[in-house]
Structure 1
Amino acid sequence: MVTVSSNETKKIQVHFVPYGTENKPKGEVIYRDPNHPAHTWSGKGRKPLWLQSYLDQGRDLSEFLVPKRRRRKKTDE
């Protein structure tokens, strides 16, 4: 936090927040908005408003699933 004062007697407090720390998705992305790819949800906690509005319009939750990536299995040679 930095306190800035000018010629006047007012003091302004400025808080610096590192870029991307507040809106960073937590956990693996399971659902994604096809119209706005930055809108994601891990499936934990409350449904985000963007997803709830689609569901209220009668769309199905499975429409927003992100396909799982294929993972390589380690083999002992």
Structure 2
Amino acid sequence: YLTDWLSESPTRVPPPYSTILPLFLAFTSALLAGMAYFTTRDEEPEWEPLLLFKLVEGIDIALVILSLLLATLVALFYFL
């Protein structure tokens, strides 16, 4: 059920899937967005519309920043 892990006096350490999995997913998405960023940097001269390249590049940078921010929030919330 949805409220299985909720209690009035929660422990300091939540279930493992709610601490390890978000960090893993955040770092994986940061890695994939970084790879996409460097792939678009390599393909820049071959792309005709420069606006599309800049759009993909900006989205990749935003995803890296967002992933690192979420990983920091999870680490601060669950481990400190």
Please report the TM-score for the alignment, with normalisation by the length of structure 1.
Answer: 0.28
More strand by share: 1
More helix by share: 2
User: Which protein has greater RCO, CA pairs closer than 8 Å, 6+ apart?
Assistant: 2
Please report the TM-score for the alignment, with normalisation by the length of structure 2.
Answer: 0.27
